[in-house]
Amino acid sequence: MNEISINSEKILLRNIQETDIDAIYPYRSLPEIAKYQYWEPFTLERTTDFVNQCIEAYYNSVGQWIGLAIKYKGNLIGDCAFNISDGILEIGCNISPDYQGKGFAKGALNLLISDCYKRFHINEIIGITDSRNTASIRLMESLGMNRDNDFENHIICKGEDCIEYKYSGKR
């Protein structure tokens, strides 16, 4: 596996490792973190499976989701992920509630986007979010992304009618 280490003065993005299970489980098991996700709150077993999937992923694998740990002052505070396909970089992020609202998601995604532009041929950045997820919408707008008004995906997620919005941008 390729080692990933991308850092700023404030945060570090690195490969998710087996030793991260105990740090990832507490926030990914929370209903408020899973609320607008396709997945349910994680069990410890699901966290282990997630970490193992991340360990097996390769940074240079096009068309595959790659998960990275977000660290601040030595603590794992969340994770972000990306998928590159046909020059489109799709991004996502989960931050522990203790660290939300402090700019960590924006900082992590800015680092990730900048690094991907250096390494890959990227034409566009996108993010898909539930229309009710105002925090995610604000985050994508803060990254300079705009809502694609031609995209509204009506889905059933967790037994509820939902509308997904797509945000996109270029650097």
pTM for this model (two decimals): 0.93
Averaged pLDDT, 133-153: 96
Of 1, 4, 41, 7, which is closest to residue 24 (Cα–Cα)?
Answer: 41
State percent of the chain over pLDDT 70: 96
* Average pLDDT of the residues of the chain: 93
Domains of the chain, start order: 5-126 (3.40.630.30)
Segment (H or E) for 12: strand 11-15
Q: Which of 67, 69, 86, 87 is nearest to 78 (CA)?
A: 69
Are the C-beta atoms of 124 and 169 separated by less than 8 Å? yes
Amino acid at 107: G
Does residue 1 carry a pLDDT above 50? Answer: no
Q: Which residue has the higher pLDDT, 92 or 60?
A: 92
Contact (Cβ atoms closer than 8 angstroms) between residue 104 and residue 119? no
